[in-house]
Chains A and B, each alone.
Chain A
């Protein structure tokens, strides 16, 4: 079975439809599936519900899909640094389900692991708990959160082998791993595809079973939100 496609557009063929739910990897602009987001934008698919920790920034990452009004609802933990998002949200044009970051990651992990819901202490006694079942375990109260099953996952990896085994790089792993597991179909873009047998099986982060389609996405610009450095001490 051939998983490698020659473009993001081809890799998404037959997978996109209006009103669908997409889980996306990335934290801020780190480890976001840039090529696949571009292809989703150019497809014109709309009324999307997107589960992603952040919503990109103005005209970067998922911010591109906000600008073109393709997004109906975001399920996110943090959406700062995005004026267009703020404008649409305050104008009531965009729905947001604020979800604590760890709850969002676990909702994806659970959804991918066949767990429809789980209890967590996170958010108990806050507006996040509104309308959710509360249950006491060992004298402490927990709220019921639902697993997320998405129609499609889009993720960014570093290296893949031809079978779809994936390795991420440094903090670019973030939500890519749980997001990859919770989609009915996962499409991955990577920086390098190597022959089967070139990766150490003990070093695989995401086993190939989760990756249905992939593309070689580079070259990547990899934008930095806050470039912070230190000076070298004088010799």
Chain B
């Protein structure tokens, strides 16, 4: 209850995920990245059929298992134990990425470190610091029909993350369709158009977004 009262402006992590969930459509096949994107699964509108893909080889991700159902052979791409659904299917990694690269997945929601005004995404490496690797992110941005990036509007130091040009190594060039931050939503209709500010989080002004964004966008 206290948290709600203290929450005077902007979106929480879960609210950002809920905003991303508004982009889901009945019948969609969706891949969710690790972190905030995973929370989108808890916000699928009732009555809507959305099938979640896990790039390690599963369609139809179920909820976390009950303690007595935990199966080491059944994990998601974040290596968490999960459960299966009656409609689930399993396949190998080559098949998994054939459906990703081949444009069969409708939507991917990913985390981001930086997004450029031209839709470039950087989310896999900080030279000299974070060297974990790109996993499936480069394949997802190359092949999935629509890419939503969910991220904090600024870094911990207050630096803008929606910027003119990425400074970190790219995950993909001109690949992002929508950006959801704790302050606002930006969207573009195609990969030739600039991003447009389409929504502000509660209590956030367009002026504040302008001050915390270095990328060019339309309003």
Residues in A lying within 8 Å of B, measured CB to CB: 27-31, 53, 76-80, 86, 89-90, 96, 98, 100-106, 108-109, 120-128, 158, 168-178, 205, 222-232
Interchain CA distance A29-B172 in the complex, whole Å: 28
Q: Are A226 and B80 in contact (CB under 8 A)?
A: yes
Per the bound structure, the CA–CA distance linking A80 and B64 in Å amounts to 22
Chain A residues lying within 8 Å of B136, measured Cβ to Cβ, are 77, 100-102
Task: Tell me which residues across on chain B come within 8 A of A108, comparing CB atoms.
Answer: 94
Which residues of B are found within 8 Å of A158, using beta-carbon distances? 73
Do the beta carbons of A126 and B70 come within 8 Å of each other? no
Distance from B169 Cβ to chain A, minimum over Cβ atoms (Å): 5
Cβ 8 A contact of B75, one of A30, A77, A105: A30
Which residues of B sit under 8 angstroms from A226, Cβ to Cβ?
75, 78-81
Q: Of residues B71, B136, B138, B169, which shows the largest number of chain A Cβ atoms within 10 Å of its Cβ?
A: B138
Chain A residues lying within 8 Å of B137, measured Cβ to Cβ, are: 100
The 5 A-B residue pairs whose C-beta atoms are closest, nearest first, are A102-B97, A125-B173, A102-B139, A80-B132, A222-B72
8 Å CB contact of B94 from A29, A109, A230: A109
* Residue B131 interfacial (CB < 8 Å): yes
**Chain B residue contacts of A223, Cβ below 8 A:** 72
Among candidates A101, A125, A228, residue contacting B82 with C-beta atoms closer than 8 Å: A228
Chain B residues with CB under 8 A of A205: 92
The answer on a CB contact under 8 Å between A127 and B169 is: yes
Contacting pair B142 A124 (CB below 8 A):
yes
CB contact between B138 and one of A29, A80, A100 (< 8 Å): that residue: A100
Q: List 30 A-B contacts (CB under 8 A).
A: A27-B57, A28-B56, A30-B72, A78-B135, A79-B133, A100-B137, A102-B55, A102-B96, A102-B97, A102-B139, A102-B143, A106-B97, A106-B98, A108-B94, A120-B101, A121-B142, A122-B138, A123-B142, A125-B172, A125-B173, A126-B172, A128-B138, A168-B90, A171-B73, A171-B75, A224-B72, A226-B79, A228-B80, A229-B70, A229-B81
CB atoms of A227 and B74 under 8 A apart: no
- The minimal Cβ–Cβ distance linking A138 to chain B, given in whole angstroms, is 13
**CA of A125 to CA of B142 in the docked complex: distance in angstroms?**
11
Q: A101-B93, A121-B142, A126-B169 are in contact. Are A77 and B58 (CB under 8 A)?
A: no
Given contacts A89-B131, A226-B80, contact A127 B170 (CB under 8 A): yes
Task: Across the interface, name the chain B residue whose C-beta is closest to A82.
Answer: B132
Indicate if the CB atoms of B73 and A31 lie closer than 8 Å: yes
Closest chain B residue, CB of each to CB of A86: B131
A231 to B98: give the CA distance in the assembly, Å: 35
**Which of B65, B67, B73, B98 touches A222 (beta carbons < 8 Å)?**
B73
Q: Tell me the bound Cα distance from A231 to B66 in angstroms.
A: 6
Min CB gap B38→A, angstroms: 10
Q: Among A96, A120, A222, A230, point to the contact of B63 (Cβ < 8 A).
A: A230
The answer to the question of B181 belonging to the interface, with a C-beta cut-off of 8 Å to chain A, is: no
B residues within 8 A CB of A227?
70, 80-81
- Using known A-B contacts A102-B100, A170-B84, A227-B81, determine if residue A120 contacts B142 with beta carbons closer than 8 Å: yes
B79 touches A28 (CB 8 A): yes
Given A30-B79, A226-B79: A121 touches B90 (CB 8 Å cut-off): no
A28-B79, A80-B132, A170-B74 given; 11 more Cβ-contact pairs under 8 Å:
A27-B93, A30-B72, A102-B93, A105-B94, A122-B139, A170-B73, A171-B54, A173-B57, A174-B57, A174-B92, A227-B70
The interface bits of chain B over 126-156 (1 if a CB of A lies within 8 angstroms of the residue's CB, else 0) are 0010011111111100110000000000000
Q: B101: which A residues are within 8 A, CB to CB?
A: 102, 106, 120-122
- Asked whether B66 lies within 8 Å of A232 as measured between CB atoms, the reply is yes
Q: How far is the CA of A80 from the CA of B82 in the complex (A)?
A: 20
Structural contact, A174 and B142, CB atoms closer than 8 A: no
Docked-complex contact A122 and B142, CB < 8 angstroms: yes
Among A78, A120, A225, residue most surrounded by chain B Cβ atoms (within 10 Å):
A78
Residues of B within 8 Å of A126, CB to CB, are 138, 169-173
Chain B: CB-nearest residue to A101: B136
Q: Which residues of A contact B91 (CB under 8 A)?
A: 173
Q: Beyond A102-B101, A121-B143, is A77–B135 a contact (Cβ under 8 Å)?
A: yes
